[in-house]
């Protein structure tokens, strides 16, 4: 269903709405963050089109946010959501040092895809409330973000449980789409 909708929207477009995809490994906090964005920092203005897409509105700027499953079996389908994407949000579990290599590989593979050539990247270093979690600096270094020159990117510390860091993320997203 999600794939069909993506294809239809790629064909017919969705005027005035900026397409965003949320990616990240399973358990990173994607769904928690999307829920926070819907209920706290933005007005939820329309019913969901499918179980994995929500519309959020930030002071007259509207985003259609696709929450893509992060399990290994689903990662191979991520590319089918890329068409017309303006912003990719990569959610990182800052406590999960072991799987950061997998995240790094997925990030760089994703950015090489032709449908994302114009997309900006927002890396959310989630679970900052957990003691001993990796800092934004450590995550940036590990993901080699400074090597990304073909895309505008930004890394933001956040906590999906409290919403801390998410208003700043929305401000950055808004500034990106308005800059285009
Ligand atoms: P996913 O959609 O990326 O798979 P979820 O991830 O949003 O389902 O979150 C996975 C687990 O991480 C959830 O815990 C959720 O409550 C927790 N989580 C999300 N964000 C944070 C955060 O900022 N801090 C902490 N401490 N936990 C967070 P459960 O126990 O429900 O599996």
Annotated catalytic residue, options 71, 128, 141, 156: 71
Nearest CA to ligand 1 atom 29: 27
List pLDDT tens digits, range 82-109: 999 999 999 999 999 999 999 999 999 9
pLDDT of residue 41: 52
Q: How far are the Cα atoms of 26, 28, 100, 111 from residue 131, in angstroms, in the given order?
A: 21, 16, 18, 31
pLDDT for residue 48: 38
Q: Tell me, what's the pLDDT at 154? A: 97
pLDDT digit string, tens, across residues 49-78: 434 688 888 888 999 998 887 777 777 777
Instruction: Round to whole Å and give the CA distance between 19 and 9.
Output: 10
Ligand 1 mean position to 58 CA, how many Å?
Answer: 24
- 134 CA to centre of own chain: 19
What distance in angstroms lies between residue 47's CA and the mean position of ligand 1's atoms? 24
133-157 pLDDT, tens per residue? 999 999 999 999 999 999 999 999 9
Smallest CA separation from ligand 1 atom 26, residue: 127
Chain-centroid distance, C-alpha 67 = 8
Q: Does residue 128 have an active-site annotation?
A: no
State which of 16-20, 34-38, 156-160 shows the largest mean pLDDT. 156-160
Q: What is the average pLDDT value for the chain, to the nearest integer?
A: 85
> Where does the pLDDT of residue 47 fall: very low under 50, low under 70, confident under 90, or very high at 90 and above?
very low
Report the pLDDT averaged over residues 115-119: 95
Residue identifier of the C-alpha nearest atom 11 of ligand 1: 27
- The whole-number average pLDDT for the span 5-12 is 50
Neighbours of 151 (CB within 10 A): 14
Predicted TM-score of the model (pTM): 0.88
- Compute the distance from residue 32 Cα to the ligand 1 centre, in Å: 6
**Residues lining ligand 1, Cβ inside 6 A:** 24, 26-32, 70, 126-127, 129-130, 159-161
Q: Which residues contact 58 (CB under 8 A, 6 or more apart)?
A: 41, 42, 170, 173, 174
Domains of the chain listed by start with CATH number: 2-179 (3.40.50.300)
Q: What is the 3-state secondary structure (H, E, C) of 13-82?
A: CCCCEEEEEEECCCCCCHHHHHHHHHHHHCEECCCCCECCEEEEEECCEEEEEEECCCCHHHHCCHHHHC
């Amino acid at each position: 269903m999600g794939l069909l909708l993506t294809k239809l929207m790629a064909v017919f477009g969705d005027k005035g709405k900026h397409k965003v995809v949320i990616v990240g490994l399973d358990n990173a906090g994607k769904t928690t963050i999307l829920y926070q964005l819907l209920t706290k920092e933005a007005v939820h203005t329309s019913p969901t089109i499918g179980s994995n897409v929500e519309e959020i509105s930030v002071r007259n700027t509207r985003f259609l946010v696709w929450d893509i499953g992060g399990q290994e079996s689903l990662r191979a389908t991520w590319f089918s959501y890329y068409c017309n994407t303006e912003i990719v949000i990569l959610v990182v579990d800052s406590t999960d040092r072991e799987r950061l290599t997998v995240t790094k590989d997925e990030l760089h593979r994703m950015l090489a895809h032709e449908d994302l050539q114009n997309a900006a990247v927002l890396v959310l270093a989630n679970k900052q409330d957990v003691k001993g979690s990796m800092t934004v600096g450590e995550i940036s270094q590990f993901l080699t973000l400074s090597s990304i020159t073909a895309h505008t990117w930004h890394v933001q510390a956040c906590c999906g449980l409290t919403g801390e860091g998410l208003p700043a993320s929305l401000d950055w997203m808004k500034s990106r789409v308005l800059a285009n």
